Amino acid sequence: MLMSRYFFLALLLALPAAASARPDKKDAHADDPAAAALSALDAKPDAATDASADPGQQTINQEAVVLGVDPLSLITVTPGGPPVRIPIAIPDSIKIGDNADENGLGRTLCDVIRNDLTMSGLFEVMPTETYALVNPAKEGLTTSTIQFDSWYNIGASVLVKTHYTVNPEHGEFAFDVFNVDTASPIALKFPTQTITPKNVRAVAHQFVNKLIGFYTGTDGVFGSRILFAAQGKSNFRKIQAFDTDGFGLASYDLPEAINVMPEWGPDGGILYTQLSPQGDNLFLYADKKLTQLTDFEGWASGADYCPKSRKIAFTGAREQNSNIYIMDADGSNLTQLTDMPDSIQTSPSWSPDCRRLAFVSNYSGKPQIYIINADGTGMRRITWVGNYNTTPDWSPKGDLIAFTARDERNVFDIFTVNVNSGEVTRLTQDQGHNREPSWAPDGRYLVFESTRDGKQPRLYLMNQDGRWQTRLSSTPGLKTPTWHF
């Protein structure tokens, strides 16, 4: 019996996610390297992409690909083996007692948990319709009364059961997680929670993060904040943030202007670039206080803050030539890091240990990614394919730098380069233009802007290998996202 159960589970894990037919091209070929390779050569715009809405998108020059005229075309999205996701069942919360759950706390809690786990790419949430086989509303809460055989039969190997009592203002929720295969509880330390309409989403995220931590050794990052520039009135831009699932949208109360390229700053504040007739300069908004950090004759933009060293790196131009500068969090101790003549240097991104920076330079003629030590030594170029590589973002694990590249069709896509080996990997392909990637603090995901669903960019999430691409918000015109560190 046990043998067959595990054999079945192994089969299940080996099967592609056939049930959840995602529009993601990469996923479609994840189980079939041959199909993916063919598709890479035959890289026509995805049927799901509205090619007519995007005249910049053309079919790839196949001859160029075959002859290898430009190496960037040869780098295509590659299958990474079958997705290994843990099948999990999350039945509705069971309410104990007669008080009505007027705020729908139980439903919201389960919806957030299911959504997060699906987005995580680590779990496969079994479809709720199939739970009828078990009739979970009538099922007991203890190991001896749970029908593990039935849960097993719908394909789940993990079962999350929540139950709660409702007081007029809030609910008391208990969380139990079971290993279906061994018919036993797992030792996830997640105590009973007092849940209100205000904190229900946050608690659900915390639970998911703990569950991910239990199975992977590193807690998840759901419920953390993503910062971005949004369209304001007339030609203005405003700075906003929302949670990893697009909920909890908030606008920063800044003077109306063209406010762009936000980054997380010191002490819970944010850094951004204001474009105005007075010049382009950096501002810090923290504790409801606005501070202008730079006053450059030419311009200053694109701050990146490193929490460990409390230093801000940014792009500055005293006259015509832009270079990389570093300063303290309050704008003092300004030092010029690069001194490259007759070229553009922009977009610094700190390594996680604050000892190195990645940046863009067109010193070679076209923009490429370079790295340099924070003391100005050891500069070297690390991208050698393509002719438009910009927006580097150094991963929290330190091994990869994500960036935006323009390929031969003038289509923008997201790639990573391995800092040590220089190996370049493509993460997006044939789904509109994809730009401005930013790593999640756990290094598992990237948030980025894409025009796959319309002319104006929207924000999307994907796993670090390009899998499980999910739209975060249907709002158009959201740009340059950056994930909280």
Q: How far is the CB of 360 from another protein (least distance, A)?
A: 6
* Count, residues near another protein per rule CB under 8 A: 47
Residue 127 engages another protein in binding (rule: CB under 8 A): no
* Closer by beta carbon to another protein, 266 or else 302: 302
Residue 315 engages another protein in binding (rule: CB under 8 A): yes
Q: How far is the CB of 40 from another protein (least distance, A)?
A: 24
What span, in angstroms and rounded, lies between the C-alpha atoms of 49 and 452? 6
Residue 306 engages another protein in binding (rule: CB under 8 A): no
Q: How far is the CB of 456 from another protein (least distance, A)?
A: 8
What span, in angstroms and rounded, lies between the C-alpha atoms of 161 and 9? 21
What is residue 415's three-state secondary structure? strand
Helix ranges restricted to H, 68-137: 71-74, 105-120
Q: How far is the CB of 276 from another protein (least distance, A)?
A: 5
Q: What single-letter amino acid sits at 437?
A: P
What is the pattern of x (binds another protein, CB under 8 A) and - over residues 42-71?
-----------xxxx---------------
Which one of 22-30, 107-115, 294-302, 305-313 is the stretch in contact with another protein (CB under 8 A)? Answer: 294-302
Please give the structure tokens belonging to residue 150. 């039935």
- Options 184, 196, 218, 276; binder of another protein; rule CB under 8 A: 276
Q: How would you classify the pairing of strands 356-361 and 345-350?
A: antiparallel
What span, in angstroms and rounded, lies between the C-alpha atoms of 116 and 122? 10
Residue 236 engages another protein in binding (rule: CB under 8 A): yes
Residue 414 engages another protein in binding (rule: CB under 8 A): no
Between helix 105-120 and helix 200-216 the angle, nearest 10°, is 40
Residue 279 engages another protein in binding (rule: CB under 8 A): yes
What span, in angstroms and rounded, lies between the C-alpha atoms of 400 and 465? 11
What span, in angstroms and rounded, lies between the C-alpha atoms of 408 and 111? 42
What span, in angstroms and rounded, lies between the C-alpha atoms of 151 and 44? 42
* Closer by beta carbon to another protein, 146 or else 257: 257
What is residue 402's three-state secondary structure? strand
User: Scanning residues 196 to 215, which ones bind another protein (CB under 8 A)?
Assistant: none
What span, in angstroms and rounded, lies between the C-alpha atoms of 389 and 406? 7
Residue 280 engages another protein in binding (rule: CB under 8 A): yes
Q: How far is the CB of 162 from another protein (least distance, A)?
A: 43
Which one of 38-46, 58-66, 108-116, 312-320 is the stretch in contact with another protein (CB under 8 A)? Answer: 312-320
Residue 368 engages another protein in binding (rule: CB under 8 A): no
- Options 234, 332, 377, 421; binder of another protein; rule CB under 8 A: 234
Residue 144 engages another protein in binding (rule: CB under 8 A): no
What is residue 257's three-state secondary structure? coil
Nearest to 415 by CA among 391, 450, 379: 391
What span, in angstroms and rounded, lies between the C-alpha atoms of 420 and 165? 54
- Options 298, 378, 422, 441; binder of another protein; rule CB under 8 A: 298
Residue 346 engages another protein in binding (rule: CB under 8 A): yes
b/e map of 98-119 (b: 16 or more CB within 10 Å)? Answer: eeeeebebbebbbbbbbbbbbb
Q: With contact defined as beta carbons under 8 Å apart, do 283 and 293 qualify?
A: yes
User: Scanning residues 418 to 477, which ones bind another protein (CB under 8 A)?
Assistant: 435-436, 455
Please give the structure tokens belonging to residue 156. 């789940």
* Closer by beta carbon to another protein, 8 or else 236: 236
- Options 117, 159, 211, 260; binder of another protein; rule CB under 8 A: 260
Contacting residues for 11 by C-beta, under 8 A, at least 6 apart: none
User: Scanning residues 385 to 404, which ones bind another protein (CB under 8 A)?
Assistant: 388, 390-391, 404
Binding site for another protein (CB under 8 A): 53-56, 233-237, 255-258, 260-261, 274-280, 298-299, 301-302, 315, 317, 320, 322, 344, 346-347, 360, 367, 388, 390-391, 404, 406, 410, 412, 435-436, 455, 479-480
